[in-house]
Chain A
Amino acid sequence: MDSQPIIEARNLDKFFGKFHALKDVSISVRQGERVVVCGPSGSGKSTLIRCFNALESHSSGTLVVDGIEVFEGSKDVRKLRQEVGMVFQQFNLFPHLTVLENLMIGPMKVRKVSRDQAERTARTYLDRVHIPEQAEKYPAQLSGGQQQRVAIARSLCMETRIMLFDEPTSALDPEMINEVLDVMVELAETGMTMVVVTHEMGFARKVADTMVFMEEGRIVEVAPPDQFFTAPASDRCRMFLAQILEH
Chain B
Amino acid sequence: MRSFIDRMRWPDYLIVAMLIAFFGYVWFTIEGTLNYKWRWELIPGYIIGYHTGREAYFANILLQGLAATIRISIYASILALVLGTILGVARCSQNLTIRMLARTYLELLRNIPPVVVVFIFFFFLSQQLIDALDLARWSRNIARQEDIWLWELFFGDMRRFPSIISGVIVLALFESAFVGEIVRAGIQSIPKGQREAARSIGMSRLQELRYIVLPQAMKRVVPPLANQFISLIKDSSIISLISVQELTYKTVELVASSRMIFEAWITTAAFYFVVCFGLSRLFSRLERRREGQA
A residues near B (Cβ < 8 Å) are 53, 55, 78-79, 81-82, 84-86, 88, 90, 92-96, 105-106, 109-111, 151, 154-155, 158
Residues of B participating in the A interface, judged by any CB pair closer than 8 Å: 191, 193-194, 196-204, 207, 211-212, 215-216, 219
Residues in A neighbouring B203, C-beta threshold 8 A: 78, 106, 109-110
- Nearest-Cβ distance from residue B200 to partner chain A, whole angstroms: 4
CB atoms of B196 and A92 under 8 A apart: yes
State the CA gap A106–B202 with chains docked (Å). Answer: 7
**B218 to chain A: closest residue by CB:** A96
Cβ–Cβ contact B212 & A88, under 8 A: no
Alpha-carbon distance between A88 and B195 when the two chains are bound, in angstroms: 12
Contact A88 B216 (CB under 8 A): no
- Compute how far the CA of A78 lies from the CA of B199 in the bound complex, rounded to whole angstroms: 8
**Chain A residues with Cβ under 8 A from B212's Cβ?**
94
Alpha-carbon gap, A93 to B200, bound state (A): 12
Residue contact A109 to B200, C-beta cutoff 8 Å: no
Contacts of A105 in B (CB 8 A): 201, 211
**Would you call A155 and B201 a contact (CB within 8 A)?**
yes
The interface residues of chain A lying within 8 Å CB-to-CB of B194 are: 92, 94
Q: Are A55 and B196 in contact (CB under 8 A)?
A: yes
Please name the residue on chain B nearest to A89 by beta carbon.
B193
A93 and chain B: residue at smallest CB distance: B197
Q: For the complex, what is the distance from the CA of A92 to the CA of B197, rounded to whole Å?
A: 6
**Which residue on B lies nearest to A158, using beta carbons?**
B201
What CA separation (Å) do A82 and B202 show in the bound complex? 5
Cβ B204 vs Cβ A78 within 8 A: yes
Inter-subunit contact B201/A90 (CB<8 Å): no
Q: Kindly report which residue of chain A lies nearest to residue B203, judged by CB atoms.
A: A110
Would A94 and B197 be within 8 Å (CB), given that A78-B204, A110-B207 are in contact?
A: yes
Neighbour of B201 across the interface among A79, A81, A95, A96, CB < 8 A: A81
CA–CA, A93 and B216, complex, Å: 12
Interface centre among B204, B207, B211 (most CB of A within 10 A): B211
A94-B212, A109-B207 known; A53 vs B200 contact (CB < 8 Å): yes
* Given known A88-B193, A92-B193, A94-B194, contact A81–B211 (CB-CB < 8 A): no
Min CB gap B164→A, angstroms: 37
Q: Are A96 and B200 in contact (CB under 8 A)?
A: no
Docked pose: A124 CA to B201 CA in angstroms: 18
Q: Which residue of A lies closest to B196 (CB)?
A: A55
Contact (Cβ within 8 A) A55 B204:
no
Contacts of B196 in A (CB 8 A): 55, 86, 88, 92
- Given A96-B219, A105-B211, also A154-B201 (CB < 8 A): yes
| Contact yes or no, A85 B215, CB < 8 A | no
Interchain CA distance A94-B193 in the complex, whole Å: 10
Assuming the contacts A55-B196, A109-B207, asked whether A81 and B202 have C-beta atoms less than 8 A apart, the reply is: yes
Query: Are A110 and B201 neighbours in the complex by a CB distance under 8 Å?
Result: yes
- Residues of B near A78 (CB, < 8 A) are 202-204
The 7 closest A-B pairs by CB, nearest first: A92-B197, A106-B201, A92-B193, A82-B202, A86-B200, A110-B202, A81-B202
Bound complex: CA A86 to CA B202 (Å):
11
**Alpha-carbon gap, A85 to B202, bound state (A):** 9
Chain A contacts for B198, CB-based, 8 A:
94
Q: In whole angstroms, what is the CA distance A111 to B196 when docked?
A: 18
4 more CB-based (< 8 A) A-B contacts, given A81-B202, A82-B201, A154-B201: A78-B204, A81-B199, A85-B200, A92-B191
CB distance from A182 to the nearest CB of B (A): 23
Q: Which residue of B lies closest to A101 (CB)?
A: B211
B193 surroundings in chain A (CB, below 8 A): 88, 90, 92
The residue in chain B whose Cβ has the minimal distance to the Cβ of A106 is B201
Cβ A81 vs Cβ B200 within 8 A: yes
Q: How far is the CA of A155 from the CA of B199 in the complex (A)?
A: 12
Given A109-B207, A109-B211, A110-B207, the answer on whether A85 and B216 have CB atoms closer than 8 Å is no
Task: Return chain A residues, CB-CB under 8 Å to B204.
Answer: 78
Contacts of A155 in B (CB 8 A): 200-201
A84 to B202 CA separation, bound complex (whole angstroms) = 9
Question: How many Å lie between the Cα of A111 and that of B198 in the bound state?
Answer: 13
